[in-house]
Amino acid sequence: MDKPLQILFATPEAVPFAKTGGLADVAGSLPKSLQALGCEIKLIMPYYRIVKESGLPHQYLGEEIEVPIGDEKLKADIYLGHLNQDIPVYFIGREEFFDREYLYSTPKGDYFDNAERFIFFSKAIFIFCQRMGFSPDIIHHHEWQTGLIPAYLKSVYQNDPLFSHTAAVFTIHNIAYQGLFKKEKFWLTGLPTEMYNPEGIEFWERINFMKAGIVYGDAINTVSQKYSQEIQTPEYGYGLEGILRKKRENLYGILNGVDYEDWDPSHDPHLIAQYDLKDISRKRDCKKDLLKEFHLPSSLENAPLLGMISRLADQKGFDLLMEILEQLFALNIGFVLLGTGEQKYHDLFTQVARKYPQKAGIRIAYDDRLAHKIEAGADFFLMPSKYEPCGLNQIYSLKYGTIPVVRATGGLDDTITHYDPATKKGNGFKFIRYDAKEFLNTIKGAISFYSQPEHWRQLLRNAMTADFSWERSAEAYLQLYRKALEKKRGSISG
Ligand code: ADP
């Protein structure tokens, strides 16, 4: 039998420890499926305040490592927790960097020292491996926060036998967040100055951490096929489309799976009533409960209820929603939204709640329990995103029989098929152009099926029987790891 692949999964966030978005769901669930496929996997992430205060079991290992940053050596503490009881999660701690209220930014903007914080984290990963004598086959790293890792592998640690066979696989979850910093900070990285040029880490006279992952990674992927194509165009590439086109032989799209242990209405502990396709009537109890939660009138029980759960950011298409508010609320519908993010949206949605108190329930918060209740209690789920690398909520919605109305972009396009009443195929509703009228018309079209029992039952069936569990995607990652290792071997022998 082959020796199990040794994977180090380097991530800035992972459920259940720390989460700002979909990446955390991925990092908390994909490793379990990789382990089931025979990989030996360890996670490594920063020791944020929220981890310290989480109450989740973890211990101080009594280990301290020294991480060179610029001409200083900064100490880091190592802690150990677990995912699924037997997958080790190592935490890199340094109070000065990670003992803060938020992970990367406050509602006012990014932390001023994010470059230092994530240079520190990325470098600490190598020193951690050296201390533990751990020689990974693959470092699977995620997002700009860990983008420098392959640059270190190809320079500072190139001659360390511990890493001689180690390949880097870089997953891009959202190319709009690149980790751009002043060039004056380059020396803090300790990378050779030759790497600071337009073929390397430089991006219009600044450092770009994500670009480092793309340029130096042995394999790169994004979280849906469609998004892997979109980011090669100026509209979606945020300036990195050129380098991505150059690397396209090495750029893959692997759709995120979801963890049905957490997101399945038949055993969801957050719900007032559990249900499945056979016992769908209990979804109605969840709807009543949700209306109560938002202090909305019970008369809305018979009207289509539209739900949203989202980071409140421009990406998510809120400008389209704002444009159609009046026409939308003229319809016989209810609307609930849960989200946090940019201040301007906090203000706008607070006004919406005031203007439509009988129809709109708004909660400006981050609340996992309420997210589950919305998935179960709503009838439709809206995602009019400008771009959406994968999107998880539409996939959760399918399982909960909450019909997605989405814009055909990225993972939304790959997972949702428009319902066709003639063939009775399709699990949701899609519009193509980023346009408010198209969005409104698609909502109108979707809710017209709500009062047609035959079609509605069919839609629920199509949605709730769709399977997006991790097995298939984990297998695709395994193949990607093998490709990256081959490439690495080729580069050593060649
Ligand atoms: P993104 O990663 O762009 O934020 P995704 O759809 O991939 O979008 O993932 C978002 C994840 O974050 C989902 O699991 C969603 O339920 C969760 N989420 C987003 N906002 C909130 C919130 N305010 N409260 C609870 N969960 C949230």
Quote the DSSP letter at residue 166.
Answer: -
Give the domains, in start order, of the chain with CATH numbers.
Answer: 6-257+471-493 (3.40.50.2000), 280-468 (3.40.50.2000)
Indicate whether 494 pLDDT > 70.
no
Which helix H or strand E contains 363, and what residues bound it?
strand 360-364
Please give the pLDDT value at position 490: 86
d(CA 144, CA 148): 8
d(CA 289, CA 273): 9
Q: What's residue 2's pLDDT?
A: 72
The per-residue pLDDT for range 236-287, each reduced to its tens digit, is 999 999 999 999 999 999 999 999 999 999 999 999 999 999 999 999 999 9
Average pLDDT over residues 131-147: 98
In the reported structure, the alpha carbon of residue 443 is separated from the centroid of ligand 1 by a whole-number distance in angstroms of 22
Please give the number of the atom of ligand 1 that sits closest to the Cα of 388. 3
319, 324, 328, 329 alpha-carbon torsion, rounded to 10°:
90
Mean pLDDT score of the chain, rounded to an integer?
96
Using a pLDDT cut of 90, give the percent of the chain over it: 95
Confidence bin at 26 (pLDDT 50/70/90) = very high
Confirm or reject: Cβ of 406 under 6 Å from ligand 1: no
User: Is residue 341 within 8 Å of residue 276, measured between CB atoms?
Assistant: no
Query: Is 70 exceeded by the pLDDT of residue 88?
Result: yes
Residues 334-388 have pLDDT tens digits of 999 999 988 899 999 999 999 999 999 999 999 999 999 999 999 999 999 999 9
* Under 8 Å between Cβ of 147 and 211: yes
Question: Can you give the pLDDT at residue 166?
Answer: 98
Q: Which tens digit of pLDDT belongs to each residue from 434-457?
A: 999 999 999 999 999 999 999 999
Distance 393 CA to ligand 1 centre (A): 7
Q: Is the CB of 352 within 6 Å of ligand 1?
A: no
Closest CA to 191 of 161, 219, 150, 162: 150
The pTM of this model reads 0.94
The per-residue pLDDT for 270 is: 98
Which of 256, 261, 393 is the pocket-test mutation for ligand 1 (most atoms within 8 Å of CB)?
393
Q: With a cut of 90, say whether residue 31 has pLDDT above it.
A: yes
Entry field: residues in the chain? 494
pLDDT exceeds cutoff 90 at 160: yes
**What mean pLDDT do residues 314-322 have?**
97
Q: pLDDT: is 142 or 491 the higher one? A: 142
How far away, in angstroms, is 229 Cα from ligand 1 center?
Answer: 23
Binding site membership of 21 for ligand 1 (Cβ less than 6 Å): yes
pLDDT of amino acid 339: 97
